[in-house]
């Protein structure tokens, strides 16, 4: 008896907490878990670097002042690894120059302790939603890139001509093949990339970042 395919588990954002104060970590965990988020807490920056998943969407609540590795240094290391999830700095000793530095360095927000619980949750929700949007965009781009990679070299040549707005007759002439062969390639491209028009093809290629300056052309 055939069994239906098992769907992959849905991805949900994780809220990371990095703070050297045990009490702060515990209270933040209780607060954030109370609204349904998964929370992973770490005592210092190195623990976080050793334990976080850079491909997991979410956000980071990060103390500014910690022994061994401060919040700004940790943010630099995270960015150096290519991780792009939002970072919210938490500090009990904030200054205007410090907040300006945080934002210039790419922080999502700078929040001073003591903070209002609901305000913090609101900011976490915005950051987590932003991270999920970025995660979905990346997955779509990866999917598109894989689809484009499935094309043969000749099919990719045809794609390049199509997104330049050239009709089959011109493509056939420039590639030295018959118009019928071009139409066969177009059918294969349409099937592999799941597109119905050159306009859709252009959007797919643009979204993947695989081409620039293309124009919308004729329908398939």
Q: DSSP 3-state assignment of 124? A: helix
Residue-wise pLDDT for 146-184, tens only, equals 888 888 999 899 999 998 889 999 999 999 999 999 999
Question: In terms of pLDDT, which residue wins out, 208 or 156?
Answer: 156
Binned at pLDDT 50, 70 and 90, residue 6 comes out as very low
Distance (Å, rounded) from C-alpha 27 to C-alpha 66?
18
Confidence of residue 5 (pLDDT cuts 50, 70, 90): very low
Of the listed ranges 87-91, 129-133, 198-202, the least confidently predicted one is 198-202
Pick the residue with more confidence: 23 or 217?
Answer: 23
- Whether the CB-CB separation of 157 and 170 falls below 8 Å is answered with no
* pTM, full prediction: 0.70
**Model confidence band, residue 10 (pLDDT cutoffs 50, 70, 90):** low
- CATH topology for 150-208 is Arc Repressor Mutant, subunit A (1.10.10)
Q: 8 burial class (0-12, 13-18, 19+ CB within 10 angstroms)?
A: exposed
Q: How far apart are CA 184 and CA 190, in angstroms?
A: 10
Is residue 7's pLDDT more than 90? Answer: no
What values do phi and psi take at 4, rounded to 5? -65, 150
Between 21 and 84, the higher pLDDT residue: 21
| pLDDT tens-digit series, residues 86-129 | 999 998 877 788 888 888 888 999 998 888 999 999 999 999 99
Q: Which residues contact 37 (CB under 8 A, 6 or more apart)?
A: 12, 13, 14, 15, 124, 128
Q: Are 18 and 63 in contact (CB under 8 A)?
A: yes
Gap between the Cα atoms of 162 and 166, Å rounded? 5
User: Pick the residue with more confidence: 95 or 27?
Assistant: 27
Decide which of 112 and 5 is more confident. Answer: 112
Percent of the chain whose predicted confidence (pLDDT) is above 70: 90
Interatomic CA distance for residues 71 and 18, integer angstroms: 9
Integer Cα distance of 160 and 148 in angstroms: 11
Provide the greatest CA pair distance for the chain.
Answer: 74
Q: Which DSSP string corresponds to 62-80?
A: EES--SSS-HHHHHHHHHH
For position 192, what pLDDT does the model report?
87
Cα dihedral across residues 47, 49, 51, 57: positive or negative? positive
| First-to-last C-alpha distance (Å) of the chain | 40
Which tens digits make up the pLDDT trace of 29-69? Answer: 999 999 999 999 999 999 999 998 888 899 999 998 888 88
Taking the domain 14-139, which CATH number applies? 3.40.50.2300
d(CA 38, CA 113): 22
pLDDT higher than 50, residue 198: yes
- So where are the chain's domains? 14-139, 150-208
């Amino acid at each position: 008896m055939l069994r239906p395919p098992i769907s992959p588990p849905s991805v949900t954002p994780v809220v990371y907490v990095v703070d050297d104060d045990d009490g702060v970590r515990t209270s933040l965990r209780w607060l954030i878990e109370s609204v349904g988020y998964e929370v992973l807490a770490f005592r210092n920056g190195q623990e976080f670097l050793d334990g976080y998943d850079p491909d997991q969407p979410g956000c980071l609540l990060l103390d500014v002042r910690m022994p061994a590795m401060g919040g700004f240094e940790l943010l630099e290391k995270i960015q150096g690894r290519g991780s792009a999830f939002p970072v919210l700095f938490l500090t009990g000793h904030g200054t205007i120059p410090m907040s300006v530095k945080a934002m210039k360095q790419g922080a999502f927000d700078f929040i001073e302790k003591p903070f209002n619980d609901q305000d913090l949750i609101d900011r976490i929700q915005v950051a987590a939603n932003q991270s999920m949007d970025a995660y979905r965009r990346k997955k779509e781009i990866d999917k598109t890139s894989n689809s484009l990679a499935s094309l043969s070299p000749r099919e990719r040549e045809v794609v390049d001509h199509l997104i330049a707005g050239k009709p089959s007759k011109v493509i056939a002439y420039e590639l030295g093949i018959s118009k019928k062969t071009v139409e066969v390639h177009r059918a294969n491209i349409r099937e592999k990339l799941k597109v119905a028009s050159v306009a859709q093809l252009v959007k797919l290629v643009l979204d993947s970042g695989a081409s620039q300056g293309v124009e919308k052309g004729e329908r398939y």
